[in-house]
Structure 1
Amino acid sequence: MNSVFRHRKLASAVFALVFGAAVLTGCGESGEEPSPAPDYGARLAGAPAPLASLYEQGNELLSGGLDAYDQRISSLEGYPAVVNVWASWCGPCRAEFPHFQQVSANMGKKVGFLGVNSDDNRDAAKTFLSTHQVPYPSYEDPDKSIADSVDATFGFPATAFYNADGELTYTKSGPYTSNEGLVADIRTYALENDAG
């Protein structure tokens, strides 16, 4: 009787393993290729020259620190700018990234978008960007000098807004939870003198 019980138990275990493997194998194969991530940058084709130059470096992690960042902001004069200060280890930063992907693709012909990857590991940031692509570049900020220059002093994420004259008008601390919230702040703080 002991032998019969062991055989049934063994047969049940083997069946469970085989069935489980079949189910797991089928989970990843629906017969369809996964849909590709949206190409947010393609929606910015035809952007004005200063913005087009910015978006040519989309999804890149740029070095150069505060000096390179300041030069870039100066090169956008005539266009307002929105700067997202983020880190790959920051959960709220990761959660708000889709809003920046979508809003930058929709408003990027009128407003310059930049990222600042602050207080982060370069490899971790590049890995994050490989799965969360944005149509604009991010500047590396390992010493937080760029974050400090835009008053992102209360943690991450933070979003800085510049008007078309290149003046910092506002820095929001904390994440955006909707596209509408981000768009409202862009209209208020970056496009403040623009009817659009």
Structure 2
Amino acid sequence: MTSHAIRPLAARLLVSVAAVALLAGCSSSTQADETTGGFVAGDGSITVPKPAEREPAPELSGETLEGDPIALSDFAGKTVVVNVWGSWCADCRVEAPAFAALDAETGDDVQFLGINIRDSRAAALAYDENFDIGYPSIFDRTGQAVLGFRDSLPSMAVPTTWVIAPDGTVSARILGSITESTLRGLIEEAGAV
């Protein structure tokens, strides 16, 4: 093989490796391992598309931590806060009290839905009990449910939170932990549309 033929092959290989690294949530300064489920902590960035540019939320479904069927479509017409978390995630533990407080504060007006990834059911249930989490989570040991957001605002970190507007579109994405006041503002903005 000539050096001219090797260069395009090497370039394609380099692009493929970079794409895989991006999809896996890797960064040059942090290597995600099996303990973190292949994800790294986010930087706290918030993406809020204009209403006309919002994409539909994916059709999420699965089993709750208790083994009952659940789907995002069960909450059609409501503002829904979807949060990807794991009991092994330090940033998830930081934001958990804000999620529990807002869930209690908003009552039936807003639905919170977790997606627990790369965890055991026992660890996830213990986490919910420890942080007084009263809303359901999809038990997604392999992380497949999270891939549903790849066509709208994909997850590249744990935690990642999406706010779904009552019309079923993704109105915001937060990569990393979020404060109670910021999440409250995003929820209010989503419901106002």
Could you tell me the TM-score, scaled by structure 2's length?
0.60
Kept in 1: contact 2:128–2:134 (CA 8 A): no
1:75 to partner: Cα distance: 2.0
User: Does the aligned pair in 1 maintain the 2:172–2:186 contact within 8 Å?
Assistant: no
Give 1:115's aligned amino acid. G
SS where residue 88 of structure 1 aligns?
Answer: coil
3-state SS, counterpart of residue 172 of structure 1:
strand
Amino acid at match of 2:91: P
Q: CA deviation at 1:192?
A: 3.7
Partner of 2:65: 61
CA contact (8 A) 1:161 1:170 kept: yes
* Match in the other structure for 1:99: 98
1:93: how far off? Answer: 0.3
**Cα–Cα, structure 1 residues 81 and 185, in superposed 2: closer, same or farther, change >3 Å?**
same
Give the match for residue 162 of structure 1: 164
C-alpha distance in structure 2 between counterparts of 1:62 and 1:165, whole Å: 29
Q: Hey, what's the Cα distance between the residues in 2 that align with 1:186 and 1:165?
A: 13
Contact 2:78–2:110 (CA under 8 A) maintained in structure 1: yes
**For 1:59-114, what per-residue CA distance to the aligned partner results, in whole angstroms no more than 9, with x for missing partners?**
x62447xxx55xx2212112111111100000000110000000111113211111
| AA aligned opposite 2:185 | A
- Residue 185 of structure 1 aligns with which residue? 186
Q: How far apart, CA to CA, are the structure 2 residues paired with 1:184 and 1:170? A: 11
**Greater RCO (Cα-Cα under 8 Å, separation 6 or more):** 2
Amino acid paired to 2:169: E
**Unmatched runs of 5 consecutive residues or more in structure 2:** 1-63
- The number of equivalent residue pairs is 127
Q: Which residue of 2 aligns with 1:34?
A: none
Residue identity matched to 2:108: K
Displaced runs of 4+ in structure 1, greater than 4 A? none
Q: Kindly indicate whether the alpha-carbon contact (under 8 Å) linking 1:62 and 1:138 is maintained by their aligned counterparts in 2.
A: no
The answer to whether the 8 A contact 1:62-1:139 is kept is no
Q: How far off its partner does 1:150 sit? A: 2.9
Segment drifting more, 145-154 vs 156-165: 145-154
Deviations 1:135-184 (A, max 9, x none): 211110111111221355311001111111222233211101x3111101
* Pair 1:138 & 2:129 matched: no
Which structure has the greater CA radius of gyration? 1
Q: Secondary structure at the match of 1:150?
A: helix
Quote the RMSD (CA, aligned, Å): 1.9
CA distance in 1, matches of 2:94, 2:79: 24
TM-superposed deviation, 1:117: 0.6
- Find the residue that maps to 1:140 and give its secondary structure: strand
- Measured in 1, the distance between the counterparts of 2:156 and 2:140 equals 16
Separation in structure 2 between the aligned mates of residue 143 and residue 109 of structure 1, nearest angstrom: 30
Q: In structure 2, give the amino acid aligned to 1:185.
A: L
Q: Does 1:89 align with 2:88?
A: yes
Aligned to 2:72: 73
C-alpha separation in 1, matches of 2:148 and 2:172:
12
- 8 Å Cα contact 2:65-2:136 kept in structure 1: yes
| Aligned sequence identity (%) | 31
Q: Provide the C-alpha distance between the structure 1 equivalents of 2:164 and 2:192, rounded to a whole number of angstroms.
A: 10
